[in-house]
Homo-oligomer: A and B are copies of this chain.
Amino acid sequence: MAEQSKFKQEPHKLLVIPGPIEVSDDVLFANAHPSMSHISPDFISVFGDSIRMLREVLFTKTGQPFLVAGSGTLGWDMVASNLVEPGEHALVLHSGYFGDSLAECLKVYGAKPVQLKAQIGAAPTPDELENALKGSKFKIVTVTHVDTSTGVLSDIKSIAEVVRRVSPETLVIVDGVCSVASEEIRMDDWGIDVVLTAPQKGLGTPPGLSILCASERAIQTFTTRTAPPTSYYASWVNWLPIMKAYEQGTAAYFATPPVNLIYAFNASLTEITKGKVSLEERFRLHREASKRIKQAVTDLGLKQLVLDPAFAANGMTAVWLPEGVSVPNLLSAFAKKDVVIAGGLLKDFKTKYFRIGHMGISVVDSSRGDVDKIIDALGQSFREAGAAK
């Protein structure tokens, strides 16, 4: 399926924001596959294989993947319009920016979200979750696995365990946009009902796809709902037959799939599931790179947004700026070293911190030397940006 690219990408600045990330030549030039019919046998098999490989990445045998042109955000619409009926309650575990937006999305489709908020840099605890579940009946509990705005990693295994024990009918929804393929997720073993994500982070593919995987229980909830789904483009009534058809090797039409991007996604999934590095080793390499970068941050006397190291993401790091260093100065010092990092995202603190992504080939392919480059640039840029105030 995935062929070795004949093309090599041009030299360019190293992109280490928390997504989009650097992608391999094979993936990038699969995105420049000559135009193909969306119902050609070649494309059907590339689409079907992508569905199957996504299951491997999420350690699920029975999950139902959905691959739809869109962004990670569209996955929220899928959850809100297919799994929750108007008037039903949703518990949103809030660990940053994305909790607020998800709650907003749920409201639009008629659900009643309640947020369980942690302070900045933390995530709600399993005990807090247990109390909340005992107080009310929730159709779904949502958790942002890695909140890209804070770098907080939620313990989705424990969260799912609490939900399964205290409120077994409640669906566990994981926003894995900034975690899939960089953090371990075992859908079946952990009892997770939905993982939604996007291609441009740990999955090492250009952006433009909404990627979601639903458990059998989630599909059952969808098929037995009483009111029809409250969205059209995000409706599984429209998409489920398409996904089944492509997986079974035939074509079906609802809307034209992003053909080239599916070729690119297939190339990346092939690297992830069939490459030299196993998934377990991939997760270990993310942890190792993360440790090195976080140590470099600490060595500079800087503080992460994450309050407890046990809840720090392994694919990104968010760091408070000290007095006298501005985001633009820091970013431009990095840019002079041909390294692109990101500023803050939390509304009230945008100008107070910066973020570094360390996912995908930048940490898996050590021959690139990206982690060293990040650490060198960090030290030098800090001195320069501090001086340039």
**A32 partner, pick from B31, B37, B254, beta carbons under 8 A:** B31
Q: In the complex, which range does the number of interface residues on chain A fall in?
A: 35 or more
Q: Which residues of B contact A198 (CB under 8 A)?
A: 256
What residue of chain B has the Cβ atom nearest to residue A17's Cβ? Answer: B37
Cβ proximity bits A197-212 to B, threshold 8 Å, 1 near / 0 not? 0101000001111100
What residue of chain B has the Cβ atom nearest to residue A263's Cβ? Answer: B206
Q: Which of A64-72, A88-96, A137-145, A375-383 contacts B (4 or more CB under 8 A)?
A: A64-72
- Interface flag for A9 (CB, 8 Å): yes
What residue of chain B has the Cβ atom nearest to residue A260's Cβ? Answer: B206
Q: Which residues of B contact A200 (CB under 8 A)?
A: 256, 259
B340 touching A206, Cβ below 8 Å:
no
A254 touching B20, Cβ below 8 Å:
no
- Interface flag for A240 (CB, 8 Å): no
- Most chain B CB neighbours (cut-off 10 Å) among A15, A32, A105, A235: A32
Q: Which residues of B contact A7 (CB under 8 A)?
A: 7, 32
Q: Which residues of B contact A76 (CB under 8 A)?
A: 232-233
B20 touching A256, Cβ below 8 Å:
yes
Considering the chains assembled together, what is the distance between the CA atoms of A108 and B227 in angstroms? 11
Cβ proximity bits A1-27 to B, threshold 8 Å, 1 near / 0 not? 000000101101001010111110000
Task: Point out residues on A near B: beta carbons under 8 Å.
Answer: 7, 9-10, 12, 15, 17, 19-23, 28-29, 31-32, 34-40, 69-74, 76-77, 80, 104-105, 108-109, 198, 200, 206-210, 228-235, 253-261, 340, 342, 345
